[in-house]
Amino acid sequence: MFLVRNSKIKKSVKRTFNFGIPAYLSSTGLKTCPNAGACAKGCYALAGAYRFSNVAQAFERRLAATQSDSFIDAMLSDIDKQRAERIRIHDSGDFYNEEYLDRWLKIMRARPHVEFYAYTKMVSLFNRRKNDLPKNFTLIYSFGGTEDKLIDVDKDRHSLVFETVAQLKACGYADASNQDDIALGKNPKIGLVYHGTKNIENTNWGKVPEYKRKAG
Ligand code: SF4
Residue 58 lies in domain: 9-215
Q: Is the CB of 24 under 6 A from ligand 1?
A: yes
What are the backbone angles phi and psi of residue 163, rounded to the nearest 5°? -85, -35
Residue 2 lies in a domain: no
**114 CB contacts (<8 Å, ≥6 apart)?**
79, 84, 85, 86, 87, 108, 136
Residue 207 lies in a domain: yes
Residue 189 lies in a domain: yes
- Radius of gyration over every alpha carbon of the chain, rounded to an integer in angstroms: 16
Residue 3 lies in a domain: no
Across the range 94-109, mean pLDDT stands at 98
Residue 138's alpha-carbon distances to 71, 88, 130, 141, 195, in angstroms, are: 21, 10, 11, 10, 24
Residue 52 has pLDDT above 60, yes or no: yes
Residue 14 lies in a domain: yes
Q: Is the CB of 33 under 6 A from ligand 1?
A: yes
Distance 145 CA to ligand 1 centre (A): 9
pLDDT at 94: 98
Residue 1 lies in a domain: no
- For residue 46, give the nearest of 61, 32, 28 by alpha carbon: 32
Residue 4 lies in a domain: no
Please report which confidence band the pLDDT of residue 81 belongs to, taking 50, 70 and 90 as the band edges.
very high
pLDDT tens track for 181-192? 999 999 999 999
Please report which confidence band the pLDDT of residue 1 belongs to, taking 50, 70 and 90 as the band edges.
confident
pLDDT at 48: 62
Across the range 37-61, mean pLDDT stands at 81
Distance 13 CA to ligand 1 centre (A): 26
Across the range 37-57, mean pLDDT stands at 79
Distance 73 CA to ligand 1 centre (A): 27
Across the range 153-160, mean pLDDT stands at 94
- For residue 214, give the nearest of 173, 176, 180 by alpha carbon: 173
Residue 176 has pLDDT above 60, yes or no: yes
pLDDT at 99: 97
**Candidates 30, 33, 41, 63: which one to mutate for ligand 1, based on the most atoms within 8 Å of Cβ?**
33
Average pLDDT taken over every residue of the chain: 90
Residue 17 lies in a domain: yes
Please report which confidence band the pLDDT of residue 210 belongs to, taking 50, 70 and 90 as the band edges.
low
The total number of structural domains that make up the chain? 1
- For residue 97, give the nearest of 16, 1, 21 by alpha carbon: 21
